Structure 1
Amino acid sequence: MIKLSVVDETSPLEAVILGTAQGVGDVPKLEDAYDPKSKEHIAAGTYPKEKDMVQEMDAFAKVLEKHGVKVYRPEIIPDYNQIFSRDIGFVIDDKFIKPRILKDRDEEIQGIQYVIDQMDPAQVLQMPEGAHAEGGDVMPWKDHLFVGYSEAEDYEKYIVARTNRAGLEFLQEQFPNKKVKGFQLNKSDDNAKENALHLDCCFQPIGTNMAIIYKGGFKYEEDYNYLVNYFGEENLIHITKDEMYEMNSNVFSISPNVVVLEQGFDRLAKILEDKGFTVERVPYAEISKMEGLLRCSTLPLHRKNSN
């Protein structure tokens, strides 16, 4: 039986599902892409190749295993993108949530069903019809649950709006012991520099009391100010629009002291090292062309000392 326990983003990681690029198949047609960065690279002829992405994910897996993490990988579904495992399920406290996501990604959960089958069925919750969320929008942080979402006007307008108010309300109902705080994000189907696809594309806690943040990802300044007040200005690392586009906030914490970054994030790496973090760098630039990075491709199952 797999033990589930995740109450924050940074407690020492013991078990995780890391997605896979194997079997991802050929370059999709432009009209089949569902985020602006993928569209950009399909149009430019620079969309990532399967073999390059497999190498990148294997390098990430090696770093996780070096730190003693048990790494599960999805079973391969041919010609199907299974890289971003964060979106198809997520753990909060001792519950595994199966959200409702894009129809185009419905089959993805089958690749990790063998892992779900090892969980206590009483701890697996299915989001109801009409309630939508993706794990990139859902962030447990101590007594809080930070959730990126879109109200109906944006949710119905943008394919990149993945979490709706019903999804937010489901989480509020299921976790009454947490302060479930929703943040509306700026969305664009066509311009990746104006699009915060998920909350982790513009914000992520690190360490024990710090966070990486991009102010322009938030639709309303009061939502950004909420996080400034919560963490304190001195504990925030602000990134630029270009750094947000390169996915600088989408790092991954193995523990409060160890953060995995894309190897090209030199400015962020120096800031973190100066603050005493151990920085693990991995090549992930090809995967970033699909508007996702390290956090997006991981689904933590168990973090130590969480309960």
Structure 2
Amino acid sequence: MINVFVNDETSPLRAVIVGTAKGVGDVPNLDDAYDPKSKEHIAAGTYPKEADMVKEMEAFAKVLEKHGVKVYRPEIIEDYNQIFSRDIGFVIENKFIKPRILKDRKEEIKGIQYVLEQINPEQIVTVPEEVRVEGGDVMPWKDHIFVGYSEKEDFEKYIVARTNRAGLEFLAHEFPNKTVKGFQLNKSDQVAKDNALHLDCCFQPIGENQAIIYKDGFKLEEDYNYLKDYFGEDNLIHITRDEMYEMNSNVFSISPKVVVLEEKFTRLAGILEEKGYTVEKVPYAEISKMEGLLRCSTLPLERAK
């Protein structure tokens, strides 16, 4: 059995699902892409190749295993994108949440069915029909759950709006002992540099009490200010619009001291090393062309209590 437990983003990681690029298939048609960065690379002829993405993901999995983490991988579904496992499930405390996601991705959960079968069924919660929530928008952080979401007007307008108010309310109901705090995000179906696809595309806690943040990813200044007050301004590492586009906030913590990032994030790596973090660098630039990075391609199952 797998004893699922996650209470924050950085406690020592014991077990995780890392997605797979195997069987991802050919370049999708422009009309079938559902985020602006993928569309950009399809149109430019620079969309990532399966072999390159497989190499990147294997390098990431090796780093995790080097640190003693148990790594599960999805069973391959041919001609299907199974890279971003964060969206098809997430763990908060001792519950595995199965969300309802884009209909184009509904088969994806089958790839991790063998993992779900190792979890106590009483700990698996399927969200109700009207609830939309994706793991990239959900961040357990100690006594809080931070949630990126869109109100009705934006949710109905943008394909890239993935979590609705019902998702926020569902989490508040499911975890009454937590402060569930929602943040509206800036969305764009067309311009990747103006689109915070998920909360982890513009914000992520690291260490014990620090965070990486892109202020303009938040639709409301008061939401950004909430995080500034919560962490303290000196504990925030601000990134630029271009760094947000390259996914600098989408790093992944193996522990409070060890952070994995894309090897080209030199400015961020320098800041983190100066602050005393061990920085593990992996090649992930091809994956980033699909508007996701390291956090997006992981589904943590167990972190230390």
Q: Aligning the two structures, in what range does the TM-score lie when normalised by the shorter sequence?
A: over 0.9
1:35 equivalent to 2:29? Answer no
Which residue of structure 1 aligns with residue 77 of structure 2?
77
1:8 equivalent to 2:8? Answer yes
Matches within 5 A, 1:6-155: 6-155=6-155
The C-alpha deviation readout for 1:122-167, integer Å capped at 9, x for no partner, is 0000000010011000000000000000011000000000000111
Structure 2 gap ranges (5+): none
Distance 2:40 2:301 in 1: 33
Question: Which SS does the other structure have where 2:146 is aligned?
Answer: strand
Distance 1:148 1:221 in 2: 14
Q: What's the CA shift for 1:93?
A: 0.2
Structure 1 gap ranges (5+): none
State TM-score, norm by structure 2: 1.00
State TM-score, norm by structure 1: 0.99
Distance 1:100 1:184 in 2: 20
Question: Which SS does the other structure have where 2:157 is aligned?
Answer: coil
Q: What's the CA shift for 1:259?
A: 0.1
Distance 1:130 1:28 in 2: 29
Question: Which SS does the other structure have where 2:31 is aligned?
Answer: helix
The C-alpha deviation readout for 1:33-71, integer Å capped at 9, x for no partner, is 000000000000000000000000000000000000000
1:279 equivalent to 2:276? Answer no
Distance 2:18 2:199 in 1: 19
The amino acid of 2:149's aligned partner reads: Y
Q: Which runs of 4+ in 1 moved over 6 A?
A: none
The C-alpha deviation readout for 1:232-278, integer Å capped at 9, x for no partner, is 00000000000000000000000000000000000000000000000
1:248 equivalent to 2:248? Answer yes
Matches within 5 A, 1:208-287: 208-287=208-287
Distance 1:132 1:123 in 2: 20
Q: What's the CA shift for 1:191?
A: 0.2
Distance 2:255 2:27 in 1: 35
Distance 1:32 1:111 in 2: 21
Question: Which SS does the other structure have where 1:58 is aligned?
Answer: helix
Distance 2:249 2:269 in 1: 12
1:171 equivalent to 2:168? Answer no
Distance 2:25 2:172 in 1: 38
Q: What's the CA shift for 1:4?
A: 0.7
Question: Which SS does the other structure have where 1:156 is aligned?
Answer: helix
Q: What's the CA shift for 1:229?
A: 0.1
The C-alpha deviation readout for 1:64-120, integer Å capped at 9, x for no partner, is 000000000000000000000000000000000000100010000000011001000
Distance 2:104 2:187 in 1: 19
Number of aligned positions between the proteins: 305
What RMSD over aligned residues (CA atoms) do the two structures have, in Å?
0.3
Distance 2:168 2:102 in 1: 16
Question: Which SS does the other structure have where 2:182 is aligned?
Answer: strand
